[in-house]
């Protein structure tokens, strides 16, 4: 990827987000960059708290919050602490990738149990970054 211009990549990612494109691919000479942008929320979590119960199954009591993109985990100015009550859809962290900030939203209401990745560390797409006890 050394031959690709980072401004070109940033522009392509911003354009993809603006136009709700799911995937981008840039090929220039022998260099190539490909990214999946804006994955849907159910794909990012092991358990979907909105699922319908079958055969009287118990809903999950804990879920893992996963990274929606590749990048570096950044704390909010006022990050939630362990034991804090979190609401569904609340932004709990940011993942910075190529200068673009991506919100990490909570998929369900509950209590933050554990941060699995410290702020500043690189994360992969789908990597577990926090554990949440789901509000029943």
Query: So where are the chain's domains?
Result: 1-38, 40-45+59-136
CA distance 107 to 101: 19
40-45+59-136: CATH class = mainly beta
Q: What pLDDT, on a 0 to 100 scale, did the predictor assign at position 113? A: 93
Maximum average pLDDT range among 4-8, 21-25, 96-100? 96-100
Q: How far is CA 69 from CA 36, 98, 121, 133, in A?
A: 8, 11, 13, 23
Whether 67 contacts 104, CB under 8 Å: yes
pLDDT digits (tens, 9 = 90+) for 85-117: 999 999 999 999 888 899 999 988 999 999 999
> Could you tell me which of 39, 45, 49 has the C-alpha nearest to residue 108?
49
Task: Tally Cβ neighbours within 10 Å of residue 115.
Answer: 19
pLDDT digits (tens, 9 = 90+) for 64-81: 999 988 999 998 888 898
**pLDDT, mean of residues 24-35:** 80
| pLDDT classification of 136: cutoffs 50, 70, 90 | confident
User: In sequence order, which residues have a C-beta less than 8 Å from that of residue 85 and are 6 or more positions away?
Assistant: 109, 110, 111, 135
Matching residue, tokens 């990827």: 1
Matching residue, tokens 């789901």: 134
Q: Which residues pair with 85 in a beta bridge?
A: 111
84 pLDDT exceeds 50?
yes
Q: What pLDDT, on a 0 to 100 scale, did the predictor assign at position 51? A: 46
């Amino acid at each position: 990827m050394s031959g690709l211009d980072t401004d070109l990549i940033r522009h392509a990612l911003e354009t993809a987000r603006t136009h709700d494109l799911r995937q981008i691919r840039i090929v220039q000479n022998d260099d190539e960059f490909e990214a999946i942008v804006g994955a849907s929320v159910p794909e990012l979590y092991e358990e979907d708290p909105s699922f319908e119960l079958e055969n009287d199954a118990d809903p999950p009591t804990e879920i893992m919050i996963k990274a929606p993109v590749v990048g570096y985990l950044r704390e909010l100015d006022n990050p939630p602490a362990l034991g804090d009550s979190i609401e569904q859809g609340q932004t709990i962290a940011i993942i910075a990738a190529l200068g673009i900030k991506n919100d990490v939203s909570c998929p369900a209401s509950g209590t933050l149990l554990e941060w699995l990745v410290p702020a500043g560390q690189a994360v992969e797409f789908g990597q577990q970054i926090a554990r949440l006890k789901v509000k029943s």
